[in-house]
Amino acid sequence: MRIAPFTYRSRAIDVRFGRDQAAEHVLDYVDTHEARRILVVATRSQLATADRLTAALSGHVVARFVDVVEHVPAATAEAARRVAADMRADLVLSIGGGSTTGTAKAIALTARLPILAVPTTLAGSEMTDTWGITTDGRKLTGKDPAVLPRAVVYDPALLDRLPEQLAVTSAFNAMAHCVEAFWGPGANPLSSIIAAEGVRQLANGLRTMRSSLPGVVDQLQYGSFLAGLVFADAGSGLHHKICHALGGAFDLSHAGTHTVVLPQVLRFNAPAVPETATALAGALGVDDAVDGLFELIAATGAPRSLSELGMPANDLPIAVDVVAEKLPIDNPREVTRGSLEQLLAAAYHGEDPR
């Protein structure tokens, strides 16, 4: 069998995974790297967790930035950077979900400070060198080695009290990373293997979420780790372009938008990538990838339409304009303005992609 040419880039990142071990791993990292002036980035709802994880750091926490906003508005990024500079921080400790990690990355982008990330959702952005900042309703994204966390501490116990709806949409957000990794601009044989395993772990975890079986959250977090890892390798395409544009323009739920858009993009692309569709079906444990994904979304009670997320109907033409600004988009099937209109209309109304 011929193997198509590909490029693979390994990333230097220290990953530690273990239930009830986060505080120990954070302390070990701080001691090993001799961080002395730590800026903690966390939402107000995560402050108690942050205080518990940093209790043994002997006064090295010099500030806490808690004004985290989803999609990282430019004003939020600037405010966080000022705190880091004023307090002469030498480490950013991010404890939270994707928005918290994104704020830490905004600091690192300009200050070039190292990040130690402790995820409390399934976003997966802690494994990537991608940053995003929103200005005037447009989310600008880019890649920079400086924003890749030096270390990531995964502790499933920190997700045990995650609200079920957020856990579900966050898991589908992670699954979107895996699905798009099959055809991303940096896709390669290894990334496809990791993506398939990520889909398998996430799907199995989602199916057993309501069963109270031990290890479900652990499985979901392991899947999100694989998703972030493979997204960093393979890069983004149509799905992420749409979600970033909609999130920045309409301030929609990041994870919810990923959940709604994913089956519609998969339906659009599946005819152009039949081998990928077959591999996805196998990872999902179903006969048809599009059918199986939509059925899984429905079974978990996740949102299925942009209207459910609060997007007004009269904003649909604006949404098409916002996404069309990104054309041409790297995708296995040609994307035109007409196809965007159909895809976004289907996502807005929550059409059954089957």
127 is a domain residue: yes
Domain endpoint, select from 137, 159, 181: 159
pLDDT (0 to 100) of residue 174: 95
Per-residue pLDDT at 79 exceeds 90: yes
**Residue 145 sits in the same domain as residue 170:** no
pTM comes to 0.93
Q: What is the mean pLDDT of residues 132-138?
A: 93
**Residue 211 sits in the same domain as residue 342:** yes
Structure confidence at residue 348 as a pLDDT band (50, 70, 90): very high
Per-residue pLDDT at 110 exceeds 70: yes
**Residue 259 sits in the same domain as residue 178:** yes
Decide: residue 58, CB within 10 A, 0-12 exposed, 13-18 middle, 19+ buried: exposed
Percent of the chain past pLDDT 90, that is, above it, reads: 88
Per-residue pLDDT at 352 exceeds 90: no
User: In angstroms, rounded to a whole number, what is the distance separating the alpha carbons of residues 319 and 310?
Assistant: 13
User: In angstroms, rounded to a whole number, what is the distance separating the alpha carbons of residues 278 and 285?
Assistant: 10
**Residue 195 sits in the same domain as residue 331:** yes
Please name the amino acid found at residue 221: Q
38 is a domain residue: yes
pLDDT (0 to 100) of residue 39: 98
**Residue 309 sits in the same domain as residue 186:** yes
**Residue 153 sits in the same domain as residue 171:** no
**Residue 176 sits in the same domain as residue 114:** no
| Residue 67 · residue 47 · CB < 8 Å | no
DSSP secondary structure, 271-286, as one string:
GG-HHHHHHHHHHHTS
Per-residue pLDDT at 34 exceeds 70: yes
Q: Look at the chain and report how many structural domains it folds into.
A: 2
pLDDT (0 to 100) of residue 211: 67
For residue 262, what are the contacts with CB-CB under 8 A and spacing of at least 6? 172, 175, 176, 179, 239, 293, 297
**Residue 182 sits in the same domain as residue 215:** yes
**Residue 267 sits in the same domain as residue 246:** yes
Number of Cβ within 10 Å of residue 126's Cβ equals 32
Percent of the chain past pLDDT 70, that is, above it, reads: 99
pLDDT (0 to 100) of residue 252: 93
What is the overall mean pLDDT for the chain?
Answer: 94
2 is a domain residue: no
3 state DSSP class of 326: coil
Q: For the ranges 8-12, 179-183, 270-274, 326-330, which has the lowest average pLDDT? A: 8-12
pLDDT digits (tens, 9 = 90+) for 284-305: 999 999 999 999 999 999 999 9
199 is a domain residue: yes
For residue 168, what are the contacts with CB-CB under 8 A and spacing of at least 6? 206, 209, 259, 300, 301, 302
Higher pLDDT, 10 or 231: 231
6 is a domain residue: no
4 is a domain residue: no
102 is a domain residue: yes
pLDDT (0 to 100) of residue 28: 96
**Residue 120 sits in the same domain as residue 171:** no
pLDDT (0 to 100) of residue 300: 95
Domain endpoint, select from 159, 185, 210: 159
pLDDT (0 to 100) of residue 123: 87
237 is a domain residue: yes
Q: At what angle do helices 254-269 and 164-181 cross, to 10 degrees?
A: 40
Domain endpoint, select from 125, 141, 159: 159
Of 193, 275, 180, the C-alpha closest to 232 is 180
**Residue 193 sits in the same domain as residue 281:** yes
pLDDT digits (tens, 9 = 90+) for 263-280: 999 999 999 999 999 999
Q: Is 310 left (phi over 0), alpha (psi -120 to 50) or beta?
A: left
The β-bridge relationship of strands 138-143 and 130-135 is: antiparallel
DSSP secondary structure, 119-182, as one string:
ESSS--GGG--EEEEEETTEEEEEE-GGGS-SEEEE-GGGGTTS-HHHHHHHHHHHHHHHHHHT
Q: At what angle do helices 238-250 and 254-269 cross, to 10 degrees?
A: 150
Of 302, 333, 330, 307, the C-alpha closest to 319 is 307
Structure confidence at residue 344 as a pLDDT band (50, 70, 90): very high
pLDDT (0 to 100) of residue 213: 64
**Residue 114 sits in the same domain as residue 209:** no
Beta strands in the chain (DSSP E): 14-17, 38-41, 61-65, 91-96, 115-119, 130-135, 138-143, 151-154
Q: What is the mean pLDDT of residues 97-103?
A: 97
Q: What is the mean pLDDT of residues 310-323?
A: 94
The CATH number for 272's domain is: 1.20.1090.10
Q: For the ranges 4-8, 68-72, 153-157, 332-336, which has the lowest average pLDDT? A: 4-8
Per-residue pLDDT at 11 exceeds 80: no
Per-residue pLDDT at 204 exceeds 80: yes
Residue 40: which domain range? 14-159
The CA radius of gyration of the chain, in Å to the nearest whole number, is: 20
Q: What is the mean pLDDT of residues 15-24?
A: 96
Decide: residue 249, CB within 10 A, 0-12 exposed, 13-18 middle, 19+ buried: buried
Please name the amino acid found at residue 69: V
pLDDT (0 to 100) of residue 212: 65
The CATH number for 46's domain is: 3.40.50.1970
